[in-house]
Structure 1
Amino acid sequence: MRWLVIVIILLFLLLLDYKWGDKVAKNAARKKIGVERQSDITLFTTGETLFDDYFAELERAKHHIHILFYIVRNDEMGQRFFSLLEQKVNEGVEVRLLVDWVGSFGLPSSLRQKGGQFAFANRPTLPFFFYKLNERNHRKITVIDGKIGYLGGFNVGKEYIGQDPKFGHWRDYHLKITGEGVADLQRQFAEDWKEATGQSFGDDERYFPSLQKGAVKHRFLPTNGAYLEEEFIELIKHAKREIVIGTPYFIPSKKMMNALLEAMKRGVQLTVIAPIQADHPFVKEASFPYFRQLLHAGAHIYQFYNGFYHAKVIVIDDDICDIGTANFDRRSLFINYEMNCYIYDKPFIQHVKQTIARDIDTSTLLTAEYFRKQSWLHRFKEAVATMLSPLL
């Protein structure tokens, strides 16, 4: 009996820690209104093509390399990554590497020391240790010489180039940006670097060179566990004909779910693409209550089977496309640090829609019959997943 009392007290203290920490974080959060920019943007959807381009640009760096990833693995891919950074340090290039403390937990110091200036983002500290353990920096940003930027869903590890047999082919969306928008990525990296290290690296022309306008109108949206919900709801309300959502985790807030249902009532066609397999326990089951409701309302829901689907994309009609680091789940909405890019260029949006159509070609349509055939074990896992959904 005593152990049960202890467990209840510990759970209560963890809940109090989380709730209080969340309240303090929300009160401190600032809403950032990104400025519309024009840059040239390239979309990558496979790790093989992305990292061929990425490593080539790192090789050409002359002054500085600034990198933020959620995950850097200690595997062949990670060792290749660190070897390249070490090479650039030896050439006199400034290298700053920031990785999330939880996402890259256990990264050996022998590797970290090769990568120039290194820091962990979002180390959990007192007070509110449990809340801060969940408050992750989920952004993936790279800036090279202040002129070339990368943003999207890929991290550094063998699974992201399709070399993990558990997942097979890894489908993701990542942007390469050249043009005036790169300065916004640089500013966000500078802010995250200062938060993690207490250090500023300067704001002169070496880090913020003069940049030309590109062809694609866009706006960056950085969030720190607040304001993303209302931004996504505004996107949904904007829709007149169709909404397409690609995400590895579909766990929307109540307000977002209501916005989707209201959109469908006014005649908007909703299409959702999610993976048929999961990379974390319970995340797949946590999406099922929402999928049931959306299917009943007339949504088209596809499960991607050609490997693992990790893309984070929202398309609203032919008007707005969102690609970035945020998943369509409560963790991205209310806890994580994220960075998204709203794109307003119609030719680029058409390119994204064509890419999504190819993803749908390697997906299977989810039906209500699937849920009617579920076993009691699946329903139990779904119930557990529903309780855990705020932290999944």
Structure 2
Amino acid sequence: MVVWVVAILLLIALDEWLGRRRKRHAPKKEYPLRKSDITLFTNGHHLFADYFLEIQKATHHIHVLFYIVKTDDISQQFFSLLQQKAKEGVEVRLLVDWIGSFRLPRKTIRSLKKSGVRFAFSQKPSFPYFFYQLNRRNHRKITVIDGTIGYIGGFNIGKEYVGQDADFGDWRDYHLKICGEGVIDLQAQFLKDWKAATTEMLQQETRYFPELPRGTIVHRFIATNGDGLEEDFARLIQQAQREIIIGSPYFIPSKKVMGALIDARKRGVAVTIVVPLKADHLFVKEAAFPYFYRLLKKGARIYRFYQGFYHAKTIIVDDDICDIGTANFDKRSFFLNGEMNCFIYDRTFTEQMKRVIRHELSRSEPLTLDWWKKRSIWERGKESISTLFSQWL
């Protein structure tokens, strides 16, 4: 029995190693600078009230990509809306990640298809390198309605995202509503992901790309597929002159990104990091501790949000740049997942985000070196184990 277990583990390790060496990821796509009107949502109730209303108003098409779609009450409301619009003759496409939405019942999928919703799974694993591909996920969350309104950010579809899960309480996340020419890029990325999942080629269909007005906020979308995000984040950190703020549910940076943060502290840049006190996955909280220790020694400020669960993903650099998107500050987002981030170059929006962060800090506790040194043996053991598996967490 032991021999079989060891053999299987070696097979998985070999599959992972070969997959990483021979990976053929879609290259990073850096979209042009755009100008759009951007609305920030930090609360699931407000987001989904707006989101469901815009879906109800759709007249031509609804394109939706989520990592996770659950089967609870809010998910059923979402499915019912899509089915209603499909029956009205609106083109509806729903793309979900195979792992993230693995528990979606076949009965639900059949019901969606029967009503006219075009449904597909993204990132279904295949041979060769099955286990490596199983570990890669499409983590993007994109919605495009009639080619004129777009959404992107950290929220998925489920009751916890509106604070209805007793285990998590208040769910803090950041999601953007895009109105203006930036929707072109959200549409292009969705259709690219749809083609990868279904082979249906729609990128050249002009009916999905109406003429759009320019908005007021300069921004750029960047889509990555396990390559390129590390360099983008390191570059952001390296250009900071006064302040860096990072918000993420998981903090497991690469060597390059961690080095950039340490260098920023050495040149006097203030570094503030916000993470959740609670964990939603095994070992992810402990995996961050070695990085926290190094940063605390250099004078960084680290806060743990305690009033619910903090799932937001943002980086703010000085007064000039704010990144909000789907990528966590971890190796999985850097080297495995499909992600999409919005880099916003607008001082007014950046100041709005800083006010949001100040509100988060008022409901967070500071992490100190003294606390770190007094961890229990059990916590130290979990930290050691998590370090071994940090690239897969």
TM-score range, shorter chain: over 0.9
The aligned residue for residue 186 of structure 2 is: 185
The aligned residue for residue 104 of structure 1 is: 101
Q: CA RMSD in A?
A: 1.0
Match among 17, 22, 33 for residue 24 of structure 1:
22
The aligned residue for residue 307 of structure 1 is: 308
**TM-score of the aligned structures, taking structure 2 as reference length:** 0.97
Q: 1:224-373 counterparts in 2 under 5 A?
A: 224-373=225-374
Q: SS of the counterpart of 2:36?
A: strand
**Percent identity among equivalent residues?**
58
Unaligned runs of 5+ in 2: none
The aligned residue for residue 129 of structure 1 is: 130
Q: 1:134-173 counterparts in 2 under 5 A?
A: 134-173=135-174
The aligned residue for residue 51 of structure 2 is: 54
Q: SS of the counterpart of 1:118?
A: strand
Q: SS of the counterpart of 2:282?
A: coil
Checking the alignment, whether the CA contact within 8 Å between 1:82 and 1:114 is kept in structure 2 is: no
Give the drift of 1:372. 1.8
Inter-partner Cα distance in structure 1 for 2:228 and 2:40: 26
Inter-partner Cα distance in structure 2 for 1:281 and 1:224: 24
Amino acid at match of 1:140: K
Q: SS of the counterpart of 1:105?
A: coil
Inter-partner Cα distance in structure 1 for 2:90 and 2:28: 34
Give the drift of 1:111. 1.9
The aligned residue for residue 384 of structure 2 is: 383
Inter-partner Cα distance in structure 2 for 1:295 and 1:34: 36
Give the drift of 1:81. 0.5
Match among 32, 37, 45 for residue 35 of structure 1:
32
Give the drift of 1:202. 5.2
Match among 69, 74, 77 for residue 77 of structure 1:
74
1:11 aligns with 2:9: yes
1:220 aligns with 2:221: yes
Inter-partner Cα distance in structure 2 for 1:144 and 1:130: 35
How many equivalent pairs are there? 389
Q: SS of the counterpart of 2:30?
A: coil
Checking the alignment, whether the CA contact within 8 Å between 2:153 and 2:174 is kept in structure 1 is: yes
Give the drift of 1:30. 1.5
Amino acid at match of 1:316: V
| More off after superposition, 235-244 vs 28-37 | 28-37
The aligned residue for residue 85 of structure 2 is: 88
Checking the alignment, whether the CA contact within 8 Å between 2:30 and 2:222 is kept in structure 1 is: yes
Give the drift of 1:371. 1.3
Inter-partner Cα distance in structure 2 for 1:248 and 1:31: 23
Deviations along 1:221-251, one digit per CA (max 9) or x if unpaired, are: 1000001001110001110001000000000
Inter-partner Cα distance in structure 2 for 1:29 and 1:232: 19
Give the drift of 1:295. 0.4
Distance 1:78 1:28, change over 3 A: closer
Inter-partner Cα distance in structure 2 for 1:186 and 1:317: 30
Checking the alignment, whether the CA contact within 8 Å between 2:296 and 2:368 is kept in structure 1 is: yes
Checking the alignment, whether the CA contact within 8 Å between 2:25 and 2:227 is kept in structure 1 is: no
Inter-partner Cα distance in structure 1 for 2:376 and 2:250: 22
Give the drift of 1:43. 0.3
Give the drift of 1:109. 2.4
Amino acid at match of 1:286: A
Give the drift of 1:24. 2.2
Give the drift of 1:28. 4.2
Amino acid at match of 2:18: W
The aligned residue for residue 205 of structure 2 is: 204
Inter-partner Cα distance in structure 1 for 2:288 and 2:25: 30
Give the drift of 1:20. 1.2
Deviations along 1:69-110, one digit per CA (max 9) or x if unpaired, are: 000001111111100101001110000000000100121123
Give the drift of 1:114. 3.9
Inter-partner Cα distance in structure 1 for 2:109 and 2:204: 26
Q: SS of the counterpart of 2:187?
A: helix
Inter-partner Cα distance in structure 2 for 1:195 and 1:29: 10
Amino acid at match of 1:54: Y
Inter-partner Cα distance in structure 1 for 2:6 and 2:391: 20
Inter-partner Cα distance in structure 2 for 1:35 and 1:292: 38
**TM-score of the aligned structures, taking structure 1 as reference length:** 0.98
Q: 1:63-74 counterparts in 2 under 5 A?
A: 63-74=60-71
Runs of 4+ aligned residues of structure 1 deviating over 4 Å after TM superposition are: none
Inter-partner Cα distance in structure 2 for 1:280 and 1:28: 26
Give the drift of 1:19. 1.5
Q: SS of the counterpart of 1:206?
A: helix
Amino acid at match of 2:329: F
Unaligned runs of 5+ in 1: none
Give the drift of 1:112. 2.0
Checking the alignment, whether the CA contact within 8 Å between 2:25 and 2:226 is kept in structure 1 is: no
